[in-house]
Amino acid sequence: MEIMKKDLGVIMYKREQIEQSIIKLIINGAVLPGEKLPSVRDLAARHKFSITPVLEALRSLEKKEIIESLPSKGFYVRNDIYRNPHLSFLQEDKAQSTFMKFEILNSKFSNYAANILDPSSHIHWPMASTITSTYYYPVDEINYHIARIAKTQEITVNLQQQPKDLDHLVQNIMKWMIPCGCPFSNKELSLVCSATQALMLALRSCTFPGDIVAVESPGHIGFYFLLEFLQLKALRIPSDFRTGLKVSVLKSYLEKGLRPSCLLLSANYSNPTGALMPEQSKSELVELCRQLRLPIIEDDILGDIHFDEVRPHPLKSFDPENVIYISGFTKSLSPAHRIAWIAGGRFHKEIVFHKNLIGAFVPLLIQQGFSSFLSSGAGARHLQHFRQQCFEILSKSLQVINDTFPSGTIAEMPRGGLFIWIQLPQGIDTALLSDIAKQHDITIALGKIFSSPAGEYNNCIRVNCLAMPWNVNTLEKLSLLGKIATSLIRKN
């Protein structure tokens, strides 16, 4: 009798465990109303239980009217799930559409994004671009160091095996990162070919297809493309164009029981808005995520381009273990040489595994040449000069915007980064503005591409005035853009 009670208790414990995991799938949006649940055998294999507690859990959920069974088909989430008192807090989320499958990659919009943001397009003033003109970078000097290595170390050029991360370059990067206050070791840092590649490795290491990822909105368009590519779902967390991600909104969702697999953001000079999170907000965010063991993926690729005297701290400096940190030289020193890095904290082993799996290695010749360039001190000298250039160009651009764009336009000087976020008066058709601008050889990035679903921030645009060499013609083109916007508001 005692053994039977014990067995029954074990079954009930396992049943409750499976019930909670299924409810979590529904809450997180991994299985939507009307969709089929994993099969009984799959659930049993996933939890490493026998079929008995799985069936008990499914019958219990069926009695609670959360799921329903269809003969010979399996178990499905009920279509009226949002009215179920057991999951009442879902109704508000359904009404607000806080999480959904990302919609940006429908054929019409993806074609638009590809055409506008394509760096190979022959546009003379590509202000939509995320890429800065090579005019501003020490490309020739870096190439000199690479060519010298190639000439003197033939074995480096002809190396057939997969290159490892060069210790000397890693050490130079560690020195480069000293102003960040990041307490990670060289053993944690791993080199990759781009920040996008690093983001993919980070997402792969802490999510599975169908998971929800909390992401700042508006946020980098690359975030949303990656979420779609990896079959992940976006939980949009509003971001203020001055102070970045709204921690209070994220906290409210977490208190409701929503559990995204990770949080994805740029705390320093976010693309597209240029927002900089205050230190207090960073501390609160990191502590909130630490308590819930919610991993943070931090893209700090623009953090080096600061206009204040001191570089802002990344989130990684507040919590070395729970923050996956990503940065690189593609915005600050050279887009062409494709060197970025990732420091994975508690996910380091998973990241290295996925890196080795896809062969995400930086060629040894590039590593050695770049390390030689950094050791010469040229990197630090260039960065100081480049920051000053960015500040002056963005200041002049902002003056033109204030003088020529329509009354009611909001645009502020960011404290760092490459971009200016412009909020136009409501009623201006920014798509029409983009079409007319393109006739004048100008592209702009529409605000609606920086969120999920596409369609928010319809009155906003992002411009990059460093996408081409700065001269009087650039001023004239930016002024023309303002005049076109003003003409559109008059027509309305």
Q: What are the tens digits of pLDDT across the range 127-183? A: 988 888 888 999 899 999 989 888 887 655 555 455 678 888 988 998 888 888 776
pLDDT at 117 (0 to 100): 52
Integer Cα distance of 490 and 492 in angstroms? 5
Integer Cα distance of 101 and 234 in angstroms? 7
Element (H, E) at 377: none
pLDDT confidence band for 116 (50 / 70 / 90): low
Mean pLDDT of the chain: 84
Alpha helices, H only, 359-467:
364-375, 378-404, 430-439
85 or 197, greater pLDDT: 197
**DSSP letter assigned to residue 294:** -
The label of the residue with tokens 């022959």 reads 122
- Nearest-10 crossing angle of helices 378-404, 472-491: 40
pLDDT higher than threshold 90 for residue 257 = no
Integer Cα distance of 170 and 341 in angstroms? 9
pLDDT at 400 (0 to 100): 95
pLDDT higher than threshold 50 for residue 5 = no
CATH pick for 107-135+380-491 out of 3.90.1150.10, 3.20.20.70, 3.30.1600.10, 3.20.19.10: 3.90.1150.10
The angle subtended at Cα 199 by Cα 195 and Cα 203, nearest 5°, is 170
* Mean pLDDT on 77-83: 73
Range among 5-9, 21-25, 392-396 rated most confident: 392-396
Least confident of 5-9, 17-21, 56-60, 93-97: 93-97
pLDDT at 96 (0 to 100): 40
Alpha helices, H only, 233-377:
247-255, 279-291, 348-358, 364-375
Q: Which residues contact 63 (CB under 8 A, 6 or more apart)?
A: none
Give the start-to-end residue ranges of the domains of the chain.
Answer: 2-96, 107-135+380-491, 138-376
pLDDT higher than threshold 50 for residue 461 = yes
Residue 453, preceding peptide bond in cis (omega within 30° of 0): yes
From residue 212, alpha-carbon distances to 101, 166, 296 in Å are: 9, 35, 13
Q: What sign does the CA torsion over 329, 330, 334, 339 have?
A: positive
The type of residue at 395 is S
Least confident of 48-52, 142-146, 439-443: 48-52
From residue 168, alpha-carbon distances to 331, 369, 370 in Å are: 22, 11, 10
Answer yes or no: are the C-beta atoms of 304 and 258 closer than 8 Å: no
pLDDT at 359 (0 to 100): 79
pLDDT at 94 (0 to 100): 42
**DSSP letter assigned to residue 332:** T
pLDDT confidence band for 97 (50 / 70 / 90): very low
What class does CATH assign to 138-376? alpha beta
First to last CA, the chain: 82
* Mean pLDDT on 4-33: 68
Integer Cα distance of 349 and 205 in angstroms? 9
Q: Is 111 helix (H, G, I), strand (E, B) or coil?
A: helix
Burial class (CB in 10 A: 0-12, 13-18, 19+), 423: middle
Bridge partners, 423 (sequence order): 410, 460
For the chain, what percent of residues have pLDDT higher than 90? Answer: 46
Integer Cα distance of 427 and 306 in angstroms? 34
Answer yes or no: are the C-beta atoms of 444 and 126 closer than 8 Å: no
Integer Cα distance of 283 and 344 in angstroms? 19
pLDDT higher than threshold 50 for residue 3 = no
Alpha helices, H only, 245-324:
247-255, 279-291
Residues 401-412: tens digit of each pLDDT: 999 999 999 999
Query: Which tokens go with 166?
Result: 């060069």
pLDDT confidence band for 360 (50 / 70 / 90): confident
Q: Is the domain covering 2-96 a CATH 1.10.10.10 domain?
A: yes
Integer Cα distance of 234 and 21 in angstroms? 20
* Same CATH fold assignment for domains 107-135+380-491 and 138-376: no
pLDDT at 336 (0 to 100): 84
Residues 271-319: tens digit of each pLDDT: 999 999 999 999 999 999 999 999 999 999 999 999 999 999 999 999 9
